[in-house]
Structures are given as C-alpha cells and as structure tokens.
Amino acid sequence: MLGHRTLNAEDYFTILKRRWWIICIPVVILPIAAVGLSYTVTPEYQSQSLILIEQQKVPTDVVKAADTGDLQSHLALMTGQIEARSTLEPIVTKYNLYASQHLSMEARVALMRDPKHLTIAPLVPQIGSTGLPGFKVLFTAEDPHTAQQVCADITGLYTGTDLRERSAVAEGTTQFEQAELDEARHTLDDMGKKQAEFEQKNMGMLPGDGGNDANFLNSLSSQLDANNQQLQSLEQNRAVYQAMLAQQTQPATPAVVSAQTEQADQKQLDLLQGQLTDLQSHYTDDYPEVRSTKRQIEDLRARIAKAASAPAPPPSPTPASNRADSMATVQLRAQIHGIEQQIDEKHKMQDQITAQIRSYQGKIQASPEVAEQYKELTRDYATEQTLYDTLRAKMGQSQMSTELENRSEGEMFNVLDAASLPIDAVYPKQSVFAMGGLGGGLMLGLLIVALLEYKDTALRTERDIWAFTQLPTLAVIAWSGDVAETQQRGRVRRLFSRKTSKEALAG
C-alpha cells in the first residue's frame, strides 16, 4: 500500500489474509527457540519457611510483655541485624555461595542480600485481625539443598535473635529498675533520718503538736492558778498562826485565850472553806488537795465544837499558866514552820510551772517556721515514698516479665513451616519462556507485515485508484496468466501508473 489513505477493518482483514504466513513463521519459531534457550540458563531454586508470631499466653492484664514495641519496627530492626555483613559472611563462606561468579566477599554478601535472592515477606492480616500475624523467609540459590540449608539458617537467626533480644530487653529492664529502686531506697532512708532528727529536735513545735501544746499550756495555767491559791491560803494561815503566836507571848486570862483561839479557828475555817470551793471548781473530789482540805475542815470543825462544849477553865496560878502558854507557843511555832515549808515548796512549784509555761509559749511562737520546714520535709519524703512504691511495683512487673520470657510464655516467633526442599526451579520456567517467545514472534510477524505493506506501492482496489487519481473506475478486468507474465505486466502497470500519475499532476 502507498499509505495514501486511511485503512479500515476490511483492509486489515485483506492484509492478514494475504500475508498470514509471514506472521505464522516467527510465532512458531520463536517459542521453540525460547524454550530451547531456557535449558541453557542456570536454574534457580527457592526455599521458603513460615514463621508465625504467637501472642503472649498469659493475659496482658496479669503480666505485661517486656517488649511492647511495634512488631513491624521490631521485624525491620531484626532484618537489618541479620542482613549485616557480620551475619551473612559466615553463611556465604559456609556454603560457598556464588563462588562460580568469581566475586569479592563484599560483592557476594551484597548479592545474597539482594531481594532477588533473600526476601522477607510479611503475611497480610486477615479481616478483623490487627497486628502482624507472621512472615515468610525466602532464599533463592542454584542448588536446591543449598537453598534449603541457607533458608533454615536464616530462619534460625530470626527465632534465636528474637528470643535473645526479648530476654535481653527483659533482663536489662529489670537491672535498670533494680538500680533505680536501690537509689530511691537510699534516698528515702536519708530523708527518713533527716525527718526523724528534725522531729526529735523540734518536738512540741510540730504541726500536729499545736493542739497538745495548747492543752498543756492550759493545764499548766490551771496548775499555776491552783498553786497560787494554795500559796495564798498558806500565807493567810501563816499570818493567823503568827498572830496567835504573838498573842500567846503576851499575858492573858484563860477566857481571853480561849476566845482568841476560837476566833482564830473560825477564821482558819473560813479560809479553808473558801480554798475548798476554789479547788472543787477545778478538780474532782478525789483530787489529793481537795481531800486534804476537807480533812482539815473536818478536824477544825471538830476542834471548834469541842472547844465550845468544854466548860470554862478555872483560874490557874501563874506558874501553871506560864507552862500552858509555853506548850501552845511551841505548837504554834511548829505549825508556822510547817506552813513555811509548804510555802517554800509552793514557790518552787510556781517557778517550775512558770518555766514550763514559758517553754510552751516559745514553742507555740516558733511553730509556724518549724511547720513550714516540716511541711517541706514531709512533702519531699512523700514524693520519694511515692516514687519508691512505683518503682517497686514496676520492679515486680519486670521480674514477672523476665520470668515469662525465660519460660517462653510471652510473645515469640514460632516456625510453623520449616525450610522446604524445592523440587522445581523458580527460574527459568519453560511456560514463561514459551509465552514470551509466542508474544515476541507475534509482534515480530506483525512488524514485518507492516514494513512490507509500507513499502508496497501496488493499487489493488477501486478505493486505492480513487485515492491516488481521484478518477472513477470504468471497468475492472480480472487478472490471469503465469507468474512471469504477471510480474512483467505488473511492472508495466506500475510504469503506466507512474506515468499516469505524473500526467494527472501535470494536468
């Protein structure tokens, strides 16, 4: 065809009918050649193993896993470690891989690391499941047994590395938390000692002692008031006895002495009753001072009643009177001396109570500053105690996780399918070569036909004549004759057609 017009489906069918044999030749020859070529290529065998990732057998709410990282990242890290030269070079040397290619060790390790030879293929999770269920290890080699052995070694590296890493992580975590726990315990002990020393040094001024100090202070104030009242009463008694002693030293008649004695007793009775009333307002009836005062009042009342019922003493001679006055004077002086001793004791008690009151008042005044320091100490101690308790809980969890890994009860890699022994080569495959040859032969045949049609200048149909000359066809004469005549007439017709074309263009 001259390429002077657009071809339609009929034209293509005509071309295919006329030149089909040109297409069939490469379609038949090239597949046969490709299959034959496949037998000259060195075959490659692929061994594969299947590793499943088993979940932790013990519930995670009971014992948490030691390694809680992402499985994809964990697998990528392990793959990087296994594909390192230090790991693959012993395997290359052990099985003498790629020795026929005469490459350096670096190139042989890189060739083994190539995805065409070593592939780690993660399994696709099923519908409704999360996480990585497992992965495949695939290794390709020229010998099936070598492929199986290398695949088994790499599979063992994955399972062994996973177990070692998880155990190392668990043990490392336990050691780290043990060190942190020891440090926290040491810090907590030091802070406990400081707090104890502070409490001992500032006893009575601590925040919790404020109420006790106030109660002690009130109690001491009450004791001081009672002591002052008793001291006042004793001083009054001393004054009474001193007055009585002064009267005893002066000459007097028995009636006067008796009247003075009754007057002194009545005055002492009034003082003791007032003292008893004051004591009963502060203490119960079982208090020793109350009981003693009651006993004194009863004795004094009995003496007054006895003196009132006794007959008036007769006048006595002067010597006997002097002797009686002398005995009464001695008794009064003895009573005055006893009262003075009691007064001295009350004064000492008063000084002691006053000193204690001043001490408690000083503690109460200094308590705000002490409370602030104590608050800071207790806050730091509570913080350290919380940290220590948290570390203890984590330590127990880490120990259980370590024990879990040692018992192989945690998450682990389990080899479901061991490395297989390949029977058929993965490369080359005769079917693939045959299909490739068939496709190549078809394309080559179509290309040859297209090239021949492009160079063909024959006019075979009325549409070719019209497209070339723009003249209608008057008649069509059937062609006949032998091949030589056909070729000769074809040349003549082509010459005539060219001439006609030139004339048509000139016209």
Highest mean pLDDT among 41-50, 219-228, 247-256, 475-484 belongs to: 41-50
Residue pair 77/165 in contact (Cβ under 8 Å)? The answer is: no
Would the pLDDT of 410 be above 60? no
Mean pLDDT lowest for which of 341-345, 438-442, 460-464? 460-464
Handedness of CA 482, 485, 488, 490 (dihedral sign): negative
Instruction: Give a three-class secondary structure readout of 312-380.
Output: CCCCCCHHHHHHHHHHHHHHHHHHHHHHHHHHHHHHHHHHHHHHHHHHHHHHHHHHHHHHHHHHHHHHH
Query: DSSP secondary structure string, 64-115?
Result: --S--S-HHHHHHHHHHHHTSHHHHHHHHHHHTTTGGGT--HHHHHHHHHST
Average pLDDT over residues 203-208: 58
Phi, psi (degrees; rounded to nearest 5) at 313:
-70, 140
| Percent of the chain topping pLDDT 90 | 8
Mean pLDDT lowest for which of 4-18, 186-200, 475-489? 475-489
Would the pLDDT of 484 be above 80? no
Would the pLDDT of 225 be above 90? no
pTM: predicted TM-score of the whole model, two decimal places: 0.45
Would the pLDDT of 32 be above 80? yes
- Of the two residues 195 and 405, the one the predictor is more confident about is 195
pLDDT tens-digit readout, 57-100: 554 544 455 554 566 777 788 888 888 888 899 999 999 888 88
Instruction: Tell whether omega for the bond before 428 is within 30 degrees of 0, i.e. cis.
Output: yes
Q: How confident is the model at residue 321 (pLDDT cuts 50, 70, 90)?
A: very low
**For the chain, what is the mean pLDDT?**
75
**Domain parsing of the chain, residue ranges:** 1-41+428-456, 45-162+413-417, 207-396
Q: How confident is the model at residue 318 (pLDDT cuts 50, 70, 90)?
A: very low
pLDDT for 211: 55
Tokens representing 315?
């006048």
Measured from the Cβ of residue 246, the count of other Cβ atoms closer than 10 Å reads: 10
Q: How confident is the model at residue 399 (pLDDT cuts 50, 70, 90)?
A: low
Average pLDDT over residues 400-427: 72
Chain mean position to CA 411: 19
* 3-state secondary structure at position 440: helix
Q: How confident is the model at residue 439 (pLDDT cuts 50, 70, 90)?
A: very high
Highest mean pLDDT among 29-43, 207-221, 246-260 belongs to: 29-43
Q: What is the CA radius of gyration of the chain?
A: 64
Would the pLDDT of 51 be above 80? yes
Mean pLDDT lowest for which of 15-24, 333-342, 357-366, 387-396? 357-366
Chain mean position to CA 307: 95
pLDDT for 503: 44
Candidates 414, 467, 479; CA nearest to 135 is 414
Residue 408: which region, alpha, beta or left (left: phi > 0; alpha: psi -120 to 50)?
left
pLDDT for 389: 85
Q: How confident is the model at residue 129 (pLDDT cuts 50, 70, 90)?
A: low
pLDDT for 149: 93
> Beta partners for 415?
51
- Of the two residues 262 and 180, the one the predictor is more confident about is 180
Give the 3-state secondary structure percentages of the chain, helix then strand then coil, rounded to 5.
70, 5, 20
What is the topology classification, in CATH, of domain 45-162+413-417? Bacterial polysaccharide co-polymerase-like (3.30.1890)
Q: How confident is the model at residue 286 (pLDDT cuts 50, 70, 90)?
A: confident
